[in-house]
Amino acid sequence: MWRRFSWRPVGFSSPACRAPPTEPLSQEFFMTTCRIQQALICYVITFTSQVAFAQEDRLVEASGTEAQIVELTAGADILEDPAGGHYHFIGDEAIFHAEPHDPHAWQSVANAKVYVENIATAFCAADAAGCTTYAENARSYLAELTALDAEIHETIAAIPEDRRVVVVAHNAFRYFERDYGISFLSPQGVSTESEAAAADVASLIREIRARKAGAVFAENIADSRLVGQIASEAGLALGGTLYSDALSGLDGPAPTYVLLIRHNLSTLSTALAAD
């Protein structure tokens, strides 16, 4: 799995180029456009996402790469983005990318399985000699994801329906909500950089009380002060930290996709099982 779930392109590197590093590429590497373009030139395959940003396409085009472009989300069940786009920071500059889709598709394990199938198909097309290995690895991982999906459904089913309402910092869990039946309330849209107005926060607190939300959660990529304030005013305890847009470090609780989902599931179920 790749270290980050964000819009940045990743690829399958040509043997003619420098071998990729054994450690995950740093965020700083990807934040420099020229370095992205230089890296893309070496790729045989570049994976993108139809639910990501137009800037991704521009980076691929500007790189001069002749790599095959493969959309990881092709065939996935994608939601529209109610906010109409995201803010992302390039250095100190906040840039709004207007896009019609919610990019957090990996919060659905069913969508993650589509990613795996698309990756395996692309690798086999690029490297027929290694196709047996790619296919076997894909089958193994798909079986793991199928078991994970069943585990989520079983765990959520054990939570009383009237407890399945939670509060998070920003609305990154709409796919999880759709697939598994947990309702997520948020003071912000799908962008972590959008500020929640005081009136919106007051309205959210009224909704929390009306719907009897079970817990409030911080997120690993968002400032927790606002959700802490909301939890205090709504009379709820913080239930822990959910991982939404990025993995943890290798020594953290969510260093891989499967462990990220399991961490979130455990955090949700533990908090919602409490009286």
Q: Is 153 part of a structural domain of the chain?
A: no
* pLDDT level of residue 37 (50, 70, 90 thresholds): very low
Same domain? 175 vs 91: no
pLDDT in the model for residue 79:
92
pLDDT in the model for residue 190:
42
pLDDT in tens, 49-66: 655 545 556 666 666 666
Same domain? 163 vs 104: no
Which residue in this structure is represented by tokens 């009237």? 162
pLDDT in the model for residue 150:
99
Q: Is 143 part of a structural domain of the chain?
A: no
Same domain? 85 vs 191: no
Structurally, the chain folds into a number of domains equal to 2
81 or 9, which is more confident: 81
- Identify the three-state secondary structure at position 243: coil
Structure tokens at 45: 């395959």
Structure tokens at 262: 């399991």
pLDDT in tens, 227-254: 888 899 999 989 999 998 888 999 999 9
Distances in Å between the Cα of 174 and the Cα atoms of 92, 126, 151, 244 are 29, 34, 19, 11
Same domain? 260 vs 194: yes
Look over the chain and give the mean of its residue pLDDT values, rounded to a whole number.
76
Q: Is 114 part of a structural domain of the chain?
A: no
Among 109, 140, 174, give the residue marking a domain's end.
Answer: 109
Which sign does the torsion angle of CA 46, 105, 270, 156 carry? negative
Highest averaged pLDDT of the listed ranges 119-128, 187-196, 264-273? 264-273
Q: Is 83 part of a structural domain of the chain?
A: yes
Q: Is 267 part of a structural domain of the chain?
A: yes
pLDDT in the model for residue 170:
78
Domain of residue 41: give its range. Answer: 10-109
User: Looking at the predicted structure, is the pLDDT value of residue 115 above 60?
Assistant: yes
Same domain? 174 vs 68: no
pTM: 0.75
Residues in contact with 25: Cβ distance below 8 Å, sequence separation at least 6, in sequence order: 3
Same domain? 263 vs 171: yes
Q: Is 135 part of a structural domain of the chain?
A: no
Q: What is the CATH number of the domain that holds 220?
A: 3.40.50.1980
pLDDT in the model for residue 146:
98
20-24, 48-52, 221-225, 270-274: segment of lowest average pLDDT: 20-24
